[in-house]
Amino acid sequence: MRRANMSLMLRSLRSGDPRSRARLATETGLSKGTTSTLIADLVGLGLVREDERERTGAVGRPGTAIAIDGGRVFGVGMEINVDYLALTVVDLRGRTVHSAVAALDIASTPVAEVLDQLARLIEDAMRLARARDGQIVGIGIGAPGIVDLESGSVRFAPNLGWHGVAVARELAARLGPAGPPIRLENDSKLGAVAEFSVRENQDIEDLLYLSADVGVGAGIVAGGRLMRGWSGFSGEVGHLPIGPQGVACPCGRTGCWELNVGLNAFLALAADQGDVVHDRSVPLEERLRALRGRADSGDGRVLAALSTLAANLSIGLSVLVDVLNPRMIVLGGYFPSFSDFLLAPITAALEARRMDLGSSAILVGSKLGLTSAARGGAQLVLEDVFEDPTIAASK
Ligand SMILES: [Zn+2]
């Protein structure tokens, strides 16, 4: 009961400005006495603080206002990508306090070495939290492919060449007893969690997030909830059979959509092999900036590649719109680097195929950059604190 009330109070504080105990009591329907006790408990756990003044706008002496304390409790999110590892540290107020991206060609790096590097990134974050006298409540890691939530392992990630990698167990062994709890989730699903939380229109409950690097995947939020499917396989849209017929995909199938719209397909269309944009030792963001520069200066080859990409994206998105009826579609991964060239032709293609008279889905490029999955991972573990604030005590 106490735990549930603490959760209610913390969630109530998450939305809106800092405010007085009296107002919080009214909003939550709890008595003033209970409210004061709960707030004292939350202050004790380092989750809220009472040094801010209530902004009522009323004349007179301002009262003490209660606010979520962002400085003590952190969630860490990570992404294992084909081309890089990303880490982000988010505080309880949702602010990013640290992030790091390390370029790494994962498929040609031994798994143990990738795990060592992940562990080092986590240790950096743990040092940062300690230096602020704070704690990391959990680590949410996104990986491409099929993930087993229960064991925290990657069952199959074709573009990494990983089969049955026990990520959570291996990292826990490297971090030792001081290591925070680890959760593994599919990267596109974490990207969807992050995009859903930063959507400007809070009325939107049905969102489709399309992530794109070498692989392409979708994270689906339906009715405000992340859709996983019965075995967590939902959203593997990169392997829909709407790509180049007969061409083999690392997943074992042929003709997959990501062979048309994934990063490698786009790079092959946009530049010859040997061009710097194919060099995987160069950070992806730098390579995308170079291509974006060429598009802006009217490079015919890059513009033709973008036009082909828009056409191929439209085919798959029209299928997804028919199946899922999203209100909003967010293009992530490498797509937002080219939003100006992609959004208009895709919107027009979707509009041309629309059957009903209702309004179409809103198509936008992600504003979170390449690390939206990492951000989603951090939010996933911080959500556990809002669910059960007492976990912050187990330092
Ligand atoms: Zn495939």
pLDDT (tens digit per residue) in 346-363: 999 999 988 766 678 999
Mean pLDDT of 167-173: 97
pLDDT in the model for residue 57: 54
146-148 β-sheet, strand order: 146-148, 153-157, 162-165
pLDDT in the model for residue 232: 82
Paired with 19 in beta bridges are: 66
pLDDT in the model for residue 52: 53
Give residue 264 CA to ligand 1 midpoint distance, Å: 13
How many Å apart are CA 314 and CA 354, to the nearest integer? 12
Give residue 82 CA to ligand 1 midpoint distance, Å: 15
Amino acid at 252: G
Quick one: pLDDT band at residue 54, thresholds 50, 70, 90?
Answer: low
pLDDT in the model for residue 125: 96
Give residue 206 CA to ligand 1 midpoint distance, Å: 26
Give residue 255 CA to ligand 1 midpoint distance, Å: 7
How many Å apart are CA 258 and CA 264, to the nearest integer? 9
pLDDT in the model for residue 298: 97
pLDDT in the model for residue 197: 87
Give residue 292 CA to ligand 1 midpoint distance, Å: 27
Q: How far is CA 193 from the centre of its chain?
A: 6
Give residue 158 CA to ligand 1 midpoint distance, Å: 8
Mean pLDDT of 337-347: 97
Give residue 319 CA to ligand 1 midpoint distance, Å: 17
Q: Give alpha helix (H) positions in 88-110.
A: none
CB atoms near residue 115 (< 10 Å): 18
- Contact (CB, 8 A) for 145 and 122: no
In this model, does residue 276 exceed pLDDT 60?
yes
What's the pTM value of the predicted model, to 2 decimals? 0.86
CA end-to-end span of the chain:
22
In this model, does residue 393 exceed pLDDT 80?
no
Quick one: pLDDT band at residue 127, thresholds 50, 70, 90?
Answer: very high
Paired with 254 in beta bridges are: 248
In this model, does residue 53 exceed pLDDT 70?
no
Give residue 239 CA to ligand 1 midpoint distance, Å: 4
pLDDT in the model for residue 17: 83
Query: Which residues, 6 or more positions from 393, have their beta carbon under 8 angstroms from its beta carbon?
Result: 45
DSSP letter for each residue of 231-275: TS-TT-GGGSS-SSTT-B-TTS-BS-THHHHSHHHHHHHHS-TTS
Quick one: pLDDT band at residue 128, thresholds 50, 70, 90?
Answer: very high
Closest CA to 87 of 374, 318, 283, 334: 374
pLDDT in the model for residue 300: 97
In this model, does residue 32 exceed pLDDT 70?
yes
Give residue 248 CA to ligand 1 midpoint distance, Å: 8
CB atoms near residue 205 (< 10 Å): 15
Mean pLDDT of 155-182: 95
Quick one: pLDDT band at residue 248, thresholds 50, 70, 90?
Answer: very high
How many Å apart are CA 36 and CA 24, to the nearest integer? 10
* Percent over 90 (pLDDT), the chain: 77
Mean pLDDT of 319-336: 95
pLDDT (tens digit per residue) in 252-272: 999 999 999 999 999 999 999
- Contact (CB, 8 A) for 188 and 235: yes
pLDDT in the model for residue 358: 67
Query: Which residues, 6 or more positions from 389, have their beta carbon under 8 angstroms from its beta carbon?
Result: 3, 6, 7, 10, 41, 42, 45, 47
Six-digit token pair at 135? Answer: 């704690």
pLDDT in the model for residue 15: 78
Give residue 148 CA to ligand 1 midpoint distance, Å: 19
CA distances to 15, 16, 141, 339 from 10, in Å:
9, 12, 25, 37
Give residue 238 CA to ligand 1 midpoint distance, Å: 6
pLDDT in the model for residue 369: 78
Closest CA to 255 of 315, 182, 327, 323: 315
Give residue 205 CA to ligand 1 midpoint distance, Å: 29
How many Å apart are CA 66 and CA 55, to the nearest integer? 11
Q: Which residues have beta carbons under 5 A from ligand 1 (an ion)?
A: 239, 249, 251, 253, 256
Q: Describe the crossing of helices 167-175 and 111-131 by its angle, rounded to 10 degrees.
A: 50
Q: Where are the beta strands (DSSP E) in the chain?
A: 48-53, 64-68, 73-80, 84-91, 96-103, 135-143, 146-148, 153-157, 162-165, 182-186, 207-212, 216-222, 225-227, 328-331, 362-365
pLDDT (tens digit per residue) in 64-102: 899 999 889 999 999 999 888 999 999 999 999 999 988
